[in-house]
Structure 1
Amino acid sequence: TIKVRFRGITGSGFESDIALDDIKLVDQNTISTTEFESLTDGITIYGEDHLVIQSHKESIRDIVVYDILGRQLFNEIDLHSNKLEIESIKKSNTVLLLKITLENNHVVYRKILF
């Protein structure tokens, strides 16, 4: 938390005081879909026009995709594959929540902008 204080003097002998706190610094830059990050769990999510999920270490068993309102957009069980292309989810610059269950029962949660 950073506290910033502004002090101003107006007129003859009149002082005013303004204090601000709880300022948030937000980075407005976004990563393009051609740039991606493969974290230690080995899951990569990318795509130009449709969503692609790839696991480099362990096969994907199940995957569920939700929108930011919690509506289920996609559900695939018993997939047993290292790569999944979801044609039904088109790029629309919206936040998606993914629940990916790997073959070793490890569950990976991701929040992406797609």
Structure 2
Amino acid sequence: MRAGTASVFRVVSYLEGLSFLVLLLIAMPLKYAADMPEAVAIVGMAHGVLFALFLAGVAVMAVLFRWRLARIAGAVAAAFLPFGPFVLERRIRKDGKEGEEG
């Protein structure tokens, strides 16, 4: 169960990071430069759902793998930074055991 949960979290993390980049780099410029607000509406909704799933995943991972408060805070902060979820995933894989150390 732990490995499956970690795999699902990796996928959600990757998708959340990707949706944030699409929102910032494609949808927002389309809204303001090409007067296409639909792009932000669509991508923004998808990103919002993925953001909520990411935060729920952080909570589940924190409980299952007994993350320290610093790791939890870093994971939440990563969701607000472009490329943050990708860096988080790399650190989790590097640390092993889904990042048990804080």
TM-score higher than 0.5? no
Higher relative contact order structure (alpha carbons within 8 Å, sequence separation ≥ 6): 2
Query: Radius of gyration: which is bigger?
Result: 1
TM-score (norm 2): 0.27
TM-score (norm 1): 0.25
Bigger fraction of residues in strand: 1
